[in-house]
Amino acid sequence: MNENATQIKDLIFSLRSLRKETRRIFAYQAKKQQLTETWIIALGALTSKDPSSLEELAQALRLSNSTTSGIVDRMIAEGLVTKARAEDNKRRINIRPTQKGRQKYAATYTDFWEKLAPLETIERADLTNLLATQAKLLAKLERIN
């Protein structure tokens, strides 16, 4: 394995570890609000596009419609979202976050970013280079797939 290949391998494993650690922190913050990671991501998607259809939410979550439907039903039972027919299209079901859902979403994200605040000490140039390198890697990976 040449030096470039070794560094790419190290980078891929490093990115995997970085994702694992940030997900661990995110999951902990969600759990403090009695939420799952998926529920927080769903609340985020619904907060940014209110209202959303089941299909739109499923796309945002990268899940099937049937899996997303089950998630929505459980979130309704917890008072986090509502589901109602659209006024202008009776076939469309709109899903919206409730005030409780919005509050839990906001609290989780506030806590998450506060927990990650020490990362802000990383030099701007280092972050810029890292982002540019990741963009190149992602573009090449997307061409492979």
23 — pLDDT class (breaks 50, 70, 90) = very high
Q: Is the dihedral of CA 101, 102, 105, 111 positive or negative?
A: negative
Identity of the highest mean pLDDT range in 2-16, 50-64, 81-95, 109-123: 109-123
* Model confidence band, residue 50 (pLDDT cutoffs 50, 70, 90): confident
The domains found in the chain, sorted by start residue, are: 3-117 (1.10.10.10)
The mean of the pLDDT values for the chain is 92
What is the distance between the alpha carbons of residues 124 and 127, in angstroms, rounded to a whole number? 5
Claim: this prediction has a pTM higher than 0.85: no
pLDDT of residue 52: 87
- Average pLDDT of the segment spanning 30-47: 94
Rounded CA-CA distance 131/83 in Å is: 38
